[in-house]
Structure 1
Amino acid sequence: MKVLYFVFYLFSLLVIKNRPEEITVISYNIRYDNPDDGENQWSLRKEKVASYLRETQPDIVGMQEVLHHQLEYLNDVLDKFSYVGVGRDDGKTKGEYSPILYNSMNLKVEESNTFWLSETPEEISVGWDAALERICTYARFKDLTSGKQFWVFNTHFDHIGELARAASARLILRKIEKLNKMNIPVVITGDFNLTPDTEPIKILQNSFEDVLKDRAPSEKNYGTFTGFKKGETGLRRIDYIFNKGFQLETADHIWVKTAKGGWASDHHPVQATFLFKN
C-alpha cells in the first residue's frame, strides 16, 4: 500500500511539474436545489454539472446559488477539488453559498474569507435596498507549478435592489484595492443579475477586463440566462468573468446539457483561460 501511495505521489509531482503556466476559470450559477423545479430539479442535473467540471478540469470554479448539500455532493464526486466559502444566512452552512472550488492538485489557498454586500460587510446583513443577504467569497491562491499568486473574488448580486448592485460593485473594488497590496492578478466571477449596459457592470469594466465584452448580441451563444426554457439559448448576458493582471487566452459561454437534452442549469457557465504574464 505504501508503494502505491508513493507512486501516486510521484505521478502527482510530474503532473504539477509539467503543467503549463495557465489558469482556467469558470463562473457557474448551478441553480439552487428547488424541489418545485420538476424535470429540472437538482437530482436530475447534478451528475451533468459534475461531469462537465470533471471533463473540463478547471483550476477555479466560482459558483452561485449553491446550498450546502449541493456543495458537499460536488466536493465528494470531484476528488481533485476542494472549496472555500460559507452560507450567507449564518456565515456557516445555512443559505446559499458563493463558493470557490479549486483544483487542490494545482493550487494552494494562502488566505480566504467572505464578506456581506452591505454597509456592514463583516456582519451577516442585508445591504441597501437588497431583497436578501448577498455575499462575496474571496481567496488568494498560489500556483504549485510556478509559485505565482493570484486572487479570486466570487459573488452573486441582488436581483431586486438597484442601489445595492451599484454599491456592491464599488464595495468589491474597494476590498480588492485594500487586499491586493502585492499587485498580483485578480479575477472576479459571478452572477451579477445585470446586463452589460448597466451602471454596476460599467463600474467593473472601468477597472477590469470583461472577458466577453466584445461578444455581440447577434452571436449564437451571447447570453447566459435561459430560465430552463427549452430552445432558449440565452438572450441576457448576466454572468461574467472579470480579469486584471492575467493575459486572456480564450473565453466563451458553454452550453451544458443533461442526457435528456435539458439544460444542466438555468445559467450557462462562463469559461476563460488565462496566462501568467512574465
Structure 2
Amino acid sequence: MKNYIYLFFVLMLFGCAEQEQSQTFMTYNLRYNNPGDSINCWEARKANVVDLIQKYSPDVFGTQEGLNDQILYLDRALTDYSYLGVGRDDGKQKGEYCAVFYRTEKYNLIKHTTFWLSETPEEISKGWDAALERICTYLLLENKETKQRFYVFNTHFDHVGELARLNSSKLIYGKITEHNPENYPCVLMGDLNLTPETSAIQYLSEVLGETKSLAGENCSGPEGSFNGFKHSEPVTDRIDYIFISKGDGKVNQYRIIDDQVEERYPSDHLPVMVEVDL
C-alpha cells in the first residue's frame, strides 16, 4: 500500500512539473513605415528588426504600428511563426495592426478576434477623446505539449486622449473577464503611451500583475522603452508593458532590450521581453 501511495505522489509531482513550463513573451512597437523617417525608415532597418526577434526567439510576440507590408515582411522572414491581426482602419488590411505572432511548432490557435477601443468595440470606431481608431487583438493559444491554454491580448493605446486611455484599460479588462469563463491565464501586452504613475497604468496594475514589478530583482536593460530614434541618449520613458493575470504565473526574467546595430536602434521603441512560468 505504501508503494502505491508513493507512486501516486510521484506522478502528481511529475504532472505539476510538466505543466510549469517557462514561456517567453515580447511586445515590440515597430514604428510604422514612414518614408519621411529618412535614415531610420523601414527599408533601412527592417532586417535588423527580424535579426533582433530571431536572436531572442520569443514564443509569442505582439507588434504595434506595423502596416500590412511590414507585417507581411515579418511573416515571410520569420518562418517559425504564424500571426493574426487586422488593420485598424477597415478591419482588414488598411491601417496599423496589433498583430500577434506565435510559434507554430509549440502552439495551436484556438480562437482569435479584434475589437476597437471605443464605446462600440465590435464596430470600426474611434473612442471617447481619442485622436485615432485604436484596436486590441487577442488569441487563445494551446500549448501542444502540455495542453495548457492561455490568452494573449495585444493593444496600442491612443497618444492623445486621456479619457480614452483610461477607458481602454477598463474595456480590455472587461473583455478579459467576459471572454474567459474558464479562467485561463492571460497575458496583456502593448504600447500604452503612458508612464507607470498614470491612472490607466495604475488601474491595470491593480487588476493584473505588472511583470516588471513581479520580476523583482530579475530585471535588466534601461529604465525606459521609448527611444525616439535618439540613439545616443538615455532611454527613460517606459510606455510599453506586459501584464499577466493575477496568480497565474511566476515572472523569472524581465528585460528591456536595447540592442543597437551600428549605433542605431531598429525601432523608435525598445522591445520588452519576459520569461514566465504560467
Contact 1:118 1:127 in 2 (8 A): yes
Q: Give the Cα–Cα distance (whole angstroms) in 2 for the partners of residues 151 and 24 of structure 1.
A: 14
- Does residue 1:156 correspond to 2:156, yes or no? yes
**How far does residue 20 in structure 1 lie from its aligned partner after superposition?**
8.0
> Counterpart of 2:101 in 1: which secondary structure?
strand
Q: Give the Cα–Cα distance (whole angstroms) in 1 for the partners of residues 267 and 51 of structure 2.
A: 13
**How far does residue 220 in structure 1 lie from its aligned partner after superposition?**
6.1
In structure 2, the residue matched to 1:237 is 238
The 3 A distance-change label for structure 1 pair 30 and 19 is: farther
**How far does residue 230 in structure 1 lie from its aligned partner after superposition?**
2.3
> Counterpart of 1:206 in 2: which secondary structure?
helix
Contact 1:26 1:272 in 2 (8 A): yes
1:57-96 superposed matches below 5 A: 57-96=57-96
- Does residue 1:251 correspond to 2:254, yes or no? yes
> Counterpart of 1:45 in 2: which secondary structure?
helix
Contact 2:221 2:256 in 1 (8 A): no
In structure 1, the residue matched to 2:268 is 266
Q: Give the TM-score normalised by structure 1.
A: 0.89
In structure 2, the residue matched to 1:47 is 47
Who wins on radius of gyration, i.e. which is larger? 2
RMSD of aligned alpha carbons: 1.7
In structure 1, the residue matched to 2:107 is 107
Deviations 1:176-196 (A, max 9, x none): 010111111100000000000
Contact 1:88 1:96 in 2 (8 A): yes
Deviations 1:63-116 (A, max 9, x none): 100100000000001111110110000000000000001111111110000000
**How far does residue 122 in structure 1 lie from its aligned partner after superposition?**
0.2
The 3 A distance-change label for structure 1 pair 238 and 145 is: same
1:1-278 superposed matches below 5 A: 21-213=21-213, 221-244=222-245, 245-258=248-261, 260-276=262-278
> Counterpart of 1:212 in 2: which secondary structure?
helix
The 3 A distance-change label for structure 1 pair 82 and 233 is: farther
Query: Number of matched residues?
Result: 256
In structure 2, the residue matched to 1:4 is none
**How far does residue 256 in structure 1 lie from its aligned partner after superposition?**
2.6
Q: Give the Cα–Cα distance (whole angstroms) in 2 for the partners of residues 233 and 76 of structure 1.
A: 33
Letter in 2 for 1:227: G
Q: Give the Cα–Cα distance (whole angstroms) in 2 for the partners of residues 67 and 256 of structure 1.
A: 23
**How far does residue 19 in structure 1 lie from its aligned partner after superposition?**
12
Identity %: 44
Q: Give the Cα–Cα distance (whole angstroms) in 2 for the partners of residues 19 and 26 of structure 1.
A: 21
Contact 1:19 1:145 in 2 (8 A): no
Contact 2:241 2:272 in 1 (8 A): yes
List structure 1 segments (4+ residues) > 3 angstroms apart after TM superposition. 213-216
Contact 1:157 1:191 in 2 (8 A): yes
